[in-house]
Structures are given as C-alpha cells and as structure tokens.
Amino acid sequence: MKKLKQITILGFLGFILIQAAKATGLQEHIPFGDQANADTIITDNDIPELAPAVHDPKLEFKNLLTSAMEGDGPSGAKLNPMAVSFVKKYVERNGKGFLKLREKSRAHFDMIDEVFEEHGLPKELKYIAVIESGLKLNAYSRSGAIGPWAFMPAAARQYGLRMGKGRDERLDYVKSTHAAARLLTDLYDRYGDWLLVIAAYNSGPGNVDKAIRKAGGSKDFWKLQYLLPNETMNHVKKFIGAHYIFEGEGGITTLTRAETKQTLLNNQATLAEEELQNSAAYKITGRFNAAVITRHIDMDMQTFNKYNPGFDNEIAVNGKYELRLPKQKMNVFIEKRYQILDESVQELLNPSETGSR
C-alpha cells in the first residue's frame, strides 16, 4: 500500500441508523493502495511511547498462533491452514505497533463499535480501517482514495458522502464510518460471507464475482483466493492477522460461511450429553442482547456463551438465533421474552443510559 499522507480533522458522533436499505448496482470500491505486497505498518514514530510491556510480546504472539490453529479460544474459530504462514509473519511484523494503536485510538474504536452496532454489523469489521489506513483519520492515496475507510469518489457518493466546494465528507470520521457500514451491509447481502465482503471492499464486487465464476460458482475464499488480484488476496489475510492481534482469537469475520457453520456445530458439541438432554431450544427473532438475557434469567455470561456461541454477532447480522438454555432458564426466558427484547432494543438505542456497554 502506498505510503499514506494525512491531514488532521476532528469527527463528531452522528445520528443513529438501524439498518441501511438494500442497495443494488454496487460501485466498484477501489483498494486504498495498488501495491500487491504493501503493508500498513504502525511504527514507534507514529505513536507516543508507552510504558514497557510486562510480558514478552514474541512469546505471547507465538502462543496466540498456537491457540489460533487449535481454535481453543472462546469463539472456537480456527485459523485456516492456508493462512497460517502469512498471518504468522503479519503478526510478528505488526503486532507491537497495532497494540499501541489500540491504546491511542480507543475513542475512535468505541465510536466505530457504536456505529456498526446500529447497522447490525460485527464490531470486528473495524479492523478494515486499520489495514486500509492505519486509522490515520485523513489519509489519502495517489489513486484518489481518501479517509480512514479509503473511499474513492464514486463509492463515496453512492453511499451518501458529499464532496466539493471545499468539503469532503470522506474526511469526516463519523459520516464515513456510517457510509462504510452501508457498503459492508450491501456486500454481505450480496455474498453472505465475511471474507468475500472484505475482498470486495478492497477490490470491488466485479473482481470477486469474476473469481467466483472462474471457480465454478464456489464462494469459498480459500478455493478462489488465487483467482483474485494478489493485493486483494493478501488484504483478506491482513484483516485476519489484525483480528488475531486485536482480539486474541478469530471470529465469524475471519471464517468462511461453511467454517462458521462448522464452528457453531463444534461449539454445541462441547455440551455434555446430560446438558443437552436437560436443555431446550427456542427460535428467536429480534435484536436480543446476551447481557440483558443473562441478567433476567440469572445466568453467568460464560455459561450462556457455552450454550449459545457467537450469539450477539449472529443476532446483529441475521436478526435470528436458535437459543439454547437449561429448561428451567428457558421457562424464565419465555415468560420474560417481551420485556427482555424491549430492554435489549433500548440498550441498543441508548447505550449511555443503560451503562452495560
């Protein structure tokens, strides 16, 4: 990726949007840079020095990769073997700088989390901005992509950003984040797979559609990766590497659709036979919140996640989930489900009032 230049500008938290309308005829979203082997590197010169780390970063990252390949994190997501070599080098090269970036940019990350939750998107997609621009608020490239989300003019206009007369809303952090959320929503509606969404965000839907056709209709990123532009293939792997650095594990945005389904099945298989027999399943629809549910049924979050892996992300993206709880807890949930849903929606709309985030 071409070395980015930056201008300083302040953002302001925007109005809440619940879900972007489905759009058709997506514009090509041109990648932020045009170098296949380029990288967004956060160096010590970019970020003020912090206190020395207590732990050995090299050992921590080695343990991280071991855990990633075994999939023994809370999400159960495994790092695909075809990504291990790339991610290992990427983590070693960027890990220290990215962790410093997390401390420096916590307010920006919090803002993106809120916007993405409003749009029903996994919060982890914020790492797209990290690999696009290093979260440099007003970065721009020679190709014409501007802002932390690297919008080209055509895509920016399509997703509601105004430009001209000394004004460029690609440089408005909040407005550009809402625009990115609308674009990501449309891409997910198109592909139903987060790795393909990230690929299309980088090189445009046209390149992804062409790769799918050449792959005989397969939508498995790992099968069609070499049919994509080289920079786009690596871009997806950079996202996976950034996710592991920031989250300490993988998640639904680092898996193909098939891998996600298998992970959910594997997580459910961790329930003992007795736990399965003494539990009940109930299909729910709506923006339920795990923290609100556990509060009402008096269950700790760790146990809830054991029965319902990936609950909040799945609800945010698809709006439905097959909830599983011990029978007694399920009876409480069913009795209070409307109150729980109401409080869950209120927490989504008024996070500052609930204080639970």
The domain segmentation of the chain, as residue ranges, is 57-261, 271-354
Please identify, in words, the CATH class of the domain defined by 57-261.
Answer: mainly alpha
**If we measure between CA atoms, which residue out of 182, 179, 205 comes closest to residue 193?**
205
What are 164's strand-pairing partners? Answer: 167
Give pLDDT tens digits for 326-335: 999 999 999 9
Q: Does residue 339 have a pLDDT over 60? A: yes
According to DSSP, residue 140 is labeled B
For the segment 40-63, the average pLDDT, to the nearest whole number, is 42
| CB atoms near residue 347 (< 10 Å) | 19
For the segment 252-266, the average pLDDT, to the nearest whole number, is 74
Q: Beta strand 279-285 with 320-326: parallel, antiparallel or unpaired? A: antiparallel
Secondary structure tally for the chain: helices H, strands E: 17, 4
For the segment 126-139, the average pLDDT, to the nearest whole number, is 88
Are 312 and 113 a contacting pair, CB within 8 Å?
no
Are 252 and 122 a contacting pair, CB within 8 Å?
yes
Q: Does residue 20 have a pLDDT over 80? A: no
Q: Give the DSSP H/E element, type plus range, for residue 338.
A: helix 327-349
Residues in CB range of 322: below 8 A, 6 or more apart: 281, 282, 283, 284
Angle at 294 between CA 289 and CA 300, to 5 degrees: 130
Angle between helices 84-104 and 57-70 (to 10 degrees): 130
For the segment 317-345, the average pLDDT, to the nearest whole number, is 90
Angle at 272 between CA 267 and CA 275, to 5 degrees: 100
State the Cα–Cα distance between residues 84 and 75, nearest whole angstrom: 18
Give pLDDT tens digits for 268-294: 656 788 888 899 999 998 889 898 999
For 299, phi then psi, to 5°, come to: -130, 140
pLDDT value of residue 265: 65
Are 17 and 116 a contacting pair, CB within 8 Å?
no
